[in-house]
């Protein structure tokens, strides 16, 4: 294990720029769960949220064309686990008013106490889930 990862730092800087751009360009916080939730409930087809989601969806293609060699990804989780996890993430983000992008990046950067606390809770229960899954069940 290496302690420092330059790609992680640089990728993080790019993610930070995307949040900065949305905040000072559109005046909105980059929170993906809220964007998806609002997109589905009431907004029209020319909404900024739809364009943001389209940008995210085609990013792998742009990455492949511009940067090249898209890193290979394998999702090994079973379908029932994906469904349970998706439900928990949906319920949790709706109750907690946000997900990792909105709270852990945008919320912390404006020093919102609720975002700092919920980020700690994400990591605590996430750590417990991984511990149970990988070390107790051995999945």
Partner 1 sequence: MRLIIPFISGLLFGVGLLYSGMADPQIVQGFLDPFGDFNPALLWVMVGALSVSVIGVIIARIRRKTLLGEPLLFPVNSKINKELVLGGLLFGAGWGLVGICPAPALVLLGRGMWEGAIFILAMIVGMKVVAYFKR
Cβ-based neighbours of 133, under 8 Å, separated by 6 or more: 139
Cβ-based neighbours of 122, under 8 Å, separated by 6 or more: 100, 103, 104
Element (H, E) at 129: helix 113-131
The whole-angstrom separation of Cα 59 and Cα 133 is 31
Residue with tokens 């020319």: 46
Q: How far is the CB of 50 from partner 1 (least distance, A)?
A: 8
């Amino acid at each position: 294990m290496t302690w420092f990862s330059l790609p992680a730092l640089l990728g993080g800087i790019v993610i930070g720029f995307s949040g900065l751009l949305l905040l000072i360009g559109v005046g909105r916080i980059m929170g993906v769960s809220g964007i998806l939730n609002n997109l589905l409930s009431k907004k029209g087809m020319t909404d900024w949220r739809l364009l943001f989601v389209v940008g995210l969806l085609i990013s792998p293609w742009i990455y492949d064309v511009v940067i090249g060699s898209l890193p290979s990804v394998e999702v090994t989780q079973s379908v029932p686990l994906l469904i349970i996890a998706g439900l928990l993430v949906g319920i949790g983000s709706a109750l907690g008013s946000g997900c990792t992008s909105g709270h852990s990046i945008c919320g912390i950067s404006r020093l919102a106490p609720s975002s700092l606390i919920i980020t700690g809770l994400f990591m605590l229960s996430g750590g417990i889930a991984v511990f149970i899954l990988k070390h107790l069940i051995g999945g």
